A and B are shown apart, each in its own frame.
Chain A
Amino acid sequence: MALTKADMAERLFEEVGLNKREAKELVELFFEEVRSALEAGEQVKLSGFGNFTLRDKNQRPGRNPKTGEEIPISARRVVTFRPGQKLKARVEAYAGSGPQQ
């Protein structure tokens, strides 16, 4: 089962002792502040977890896969996530039962 905001709020309720409303608000605000920083063009470094960085992409040629029509893909700014050493090591140790996707 995928981890969701509801699971995270539940954990803050159980482990930190926030009430349910506070927990829900804090989880919401946590992701909102990361979004705001990225929106403002600032990278976000969460030590032990990873860094969210921004990359500016130039315009490049693209194609509508349905019609085959050529359409330029406009210049854009995108978010990339670079996992930290600690997270990479923990995930690498996961011996799953074959490719997940």
Chain B
Amino acid sequence: MTKSELIDILARKQNHLAYKDVELSVKTLLEQMSQALATGDRIEIRGFGSFSLHFRPPRVGRNPKTGETVSLPGKYVPHFKPGKELRERVNEPATTTGKVAAR
């Protein structure tokens, strides 16, 4: 599913809303989420998951072309941890036993 397919589905299900409002809403949501992470904030959506930043410490890398060493500064990368409901719903069709497994 792509962003435009998601917009289509939402517009169909909320057909009292104008298509362009649904489109703008989805773009606004994703922009707000990106903005939060870009300013170091977490995102917490119960039943879906949480987004946070993980720190990657500085390291010495190498230019693969020249073999020259370069020192790379520390940086942050976005990280997503799926919530309980998402984990269970995604895993359910995949497992046949339905047994509760050790984490």
Contact = CB atoms under 8 A, between A and B. Distances in A.
A39 B17 contact: no
B77 A29 contact: no
A3 B41 CA distance: 7
B59 to A, nearest CB: 14
Contacts of A34: 1, 6, 48
B29 A3 contact: no
Nearest to A46: B3
A100 B77 contact: no
A10 to B, nearest CB: 10
Q: What range describes how many residues of B lie at the interface?
A: 35 or more
Interface in B79-103: 79-80, 82, 85-87, 89-95, 97, 99, 101-103
A37 to B, nearest CB: 4
B48 A35 contact: yes
Given A41-B93, A42-B1, A96 B43 contact: no
Interface of A: 1-5, 7-8, 11-12, 15-18, 22-23, 25-27, 29-31, 33-35, 37-50, 52, 54, 56, 62, 64, 71-81, 83, 86-88, 90-94, 96, 98-101
The 4 A-B residue pairs with the shortest CB-CB distance in the complex, in nearest-first order: A81-B80, A77-B94, A99-B55, A74-B101
